[in-house]
Amino acid sequence: QKEVEQNSGPLSVPEGAIASLNCTYSDRVSQSFFWYRQYSGKSPELIMSIYSNGDKEDGRFTAQLNKASQYVSLLIRDSQPSDSATYLCAVFILTGGGNKLTFGTGTQLKVEL
Amino acid sequence: DTGVSQDPRHKITKRGQNVTFRCDPISEHNRLYWYRQTLGQGPEFLTYFQNEAQLEKSRLLSDRFSAERPKGSFSTLEIQRTEQGDSAMYLCASSLVSNPTTGGWYFGPGTRLTVT
């Protein structure tokens, strides 16, 4: 089982709709969770972070975390064509030998006009 | 502009040649990370430094790979006897502290390596 799992997509949504991206993780000691956006050929850009169970909102983005279910999601409201990108879920575990971010494979989002 | 720079941005090399990449982190950041990303995959951890000490290496980092961070400033990643499977984007990130909950991780623009 991969440490961080995402559907590769593509996920297609019409402009103005809500895009829902999902991620599951396997390590129960995972402490922090991040969503990165990556445009083709570019490096990842941090858009959201969440550490506690529940929802965290930032503009059009809402991150949701459920540690009991080992599930984290990202909602993008009022999706725009400029949101078309790959969204990477990343998990941070603070242990003696694991001070690194572990990434999923990413979900490709396409926002259609 | 995140402040982390990488050089070169693109490198095309023939199989069997050696290549070296450079990463300059944000100046006050004491932690530096190398990741590799292949097409359709997420970034995979390679190694990280705290100051000049290399504290962890992934098993992905074969003996053909070596990384250094002299004086705790810039870092270099060298690949010897390149293979076609080394073709990837090599990403560098830096942070002031280890835990991204208290300090951000900033990625550089990456070096895209193509081995022909």
Nearest residue in chain A measured CA to CA from B98: A99
Q: Is A33 on the interface with B (CB under 8 A)?
A: no
The answer to whether the Cβ–Cβ distance between B107 and A102 falls below 8 Å is no
| pLDDT greater than 90 at residue A72 | yes
**Alpha carbon separation from A11 to A84, A98, B39 (Å, rounded):** 10, 31, 18
* Proportion of chain B above pLDDT 90, given as a percent: 70
Residues 6+ apart with CB under 8 A from B35: B43, B44, B45, B46, B90, B91, B92, B93
| pLDDT greater than 70 at residue B98 | no
- The CA distance from A108 to A93, in Å, is 25
* Of the listed ranges A16-25, B31-40, B56-65, the one predicted with least confidence: B56-65
- The CA distance from A77 to A74, in Å, is 10
Distance (Å) from the alpha carbon of B15 to chain A's nearest alpha carbon: 23
Residues paired with B68 in a beta bridge: B76
The answer to whether the Cβ–Cβ distance between B48 and A94 falls below 8 Å is no
| pLDDT greater than 90 at residue B22 | yes
- How does pLDDT run across B44-62, given as a tens digit for each residue? 999 999 999 998 888 888 8
The confidence score (pLDDT) of residue A96 equals 57
| pLDDT greater than 70 at residue B2 | no
Quote the tokens at residue B102: 């208290």
- How does pLDDT run across B9-21, given as a tens digit for each residue? 999 999 999 999 9
Distance (Å) from the alpha carbon of B16 to chain A's nearest alpha carbon: 25
B96 — pLDDT class (breaks 50, 70, 90): confident
